[in-house]
A and B are shown apart, each in its own frame.
Chain A
Amino acid sequence: MAAPQPESKFIELKPFSDEMIVSMGPQHPSTHGVLRLELKLDGEIVRDAIPHIGYLHRCFEKHSENLNYQQIIPFTDRMDYIAAMNMNWGFCLAVEELLATDEKKFSGVPERGEYLRVLIGELNRIGSHLLSFGTYGMDLGAFTPFLYAFRDREKILLLFEKICGARLTYNYIRVGGVSRDTPPGFIDEVKEFIDYFEPQIDKYNALLTANRIFIERTAKVAVMDTEMAINYGVTGPNLRGAGLQWDLRRDEPYSIYDRFDFDVPVGKDIPELGVVAGDCWNRYKVRMDEMKQSIQIIRQILESGLPNGPIQAEMKAVRPPKGEIFSRSEAPRGELGFYIVSDGTPKPVRLKAKSPCFTALSALQELSRGLMVADIIAIIGSIDIVMGEVDR
Chain B
Amino acid sequence: MRHYLSNIYLGVYTALVGMRITFKQLLQPSVTHQYPYDRSFEQKKNIREIPKGYRGKLHNRIEDCIGCKKCEMICPVDCITIATQKLPKGERLWDSMNVVHLKDRTEIVGNIEGAEKPAPNTAVTIQTRDNRTVAVASEEIANVVERKPVIFYLDQFDIDMSLCMYCGLCTEVCPTECLIMFDNLSDGIEYSTFDRTDLIYEFAKPEMYEQPTDESTEAEAAD
Q: Tell me the A residues contacting B by CB distance below 8 Å.
A: 67-68, 70-75, 77, 144, 148, 151, 154, 158, 161-162, 165-166, 169, 171, 179-180, 183-184, 203, 206-208, 210-213, 216
Contacts and interface: CB of A to CB of B under 8 A. Distances in A.
B185 interface: no
B7 A171 contact: no
Given A74-B76, A211-B18, A179 B172 contact: yes
A161 B52 CA distance: 9
14 contacts: A73-B167, A74-B165, A165-B55, A165-B183, A166-B166, A169-B167, A203-B21, A206-B18, A208-B18, A210-B17, A211-B18, A212-B10, A212-B14, A213-B15
A51 B169 CA distance: 37
A211 B15 CA distance: 6
Q: Which of B11, B21, B76, B105 counts the most chain A CB atoms within 10 A? A: B76
Nearest to A216: B7
Contacts of B7: 212, 216
Interface in B31-52: 31, 47-48, 50-52
Nearest to B6: A212
Contact of B169 (A171, A184, A208): A171
A212 B17 CA distance: 11
A158 B47 CA distance: 9
Given A71-B74, A171-B167, A213-B15, 14 more contacts: A67-B76, A68-B74, A74-B167, A165-B168, A165-B181, A166-B54, A169-B167, A171-B169, A179-B172, A183-B52, A207-B17, A207-B22, A208-B18, A216-B11
A183 B53 contact: yes
B17 A206 contact: yes
Contacts of A77: 167
B74 A183 contact: no
Nearest to A180: B53
Interface of B: 7, 10-11, 13-15, 17-18, 21-22, 25, 31, 47-48, 50-55, 74, 76, 105, 165-169, 172, 181, 183
A42 B74 CA distance: 55
Contacts of B18: 144, 206-208, 211
B169 A165 contact: no
A144 B183 CA distance: 33
Nearest to B55: A165
Contacts of A75: 76
Contacts of B166: 166, 169
Contacts of B53: 162, 165, 180, 183
B49 to A, nearest CB: 9
Q: Which of B10, B48, B55, B167 counts the most chain A CB atoms within 10 A? A: B167
B76 A161 contact: no
Contacts of B47: 158
A213 B168 contact: no
A162 B53 CA distance: 7
Contacts of A206: 17-18, 21
Contacts of B17: 206-207, 210-211
Contacts of A208: 18
Contacts of B54: 161, 165-166
Contacts of A203: 21
A336 B183 CA distance: 33
A70 B169 contact: yes
A183 B169 contact: no
A68 B17 CA distance: 54
B36 to A, nearest CB: 17
B51 A183 contact: yes
A211 B76 CA distance: 48
Contacts of B48: 158
Q: Which of A180, A184, A207 counts the most chain B CB atoms within 10 A? A: A207
A183 B48 CA distance: 17
B15 A161 contact: no
Contacts of B172: 179
A71 B76 contact: yes
A367 B83 CA distance: 58
Contacts of B15: 211-213
Contacts of A180: 53
Contacts of B168: 165-166, 171, 179
Nearest to A207: B18
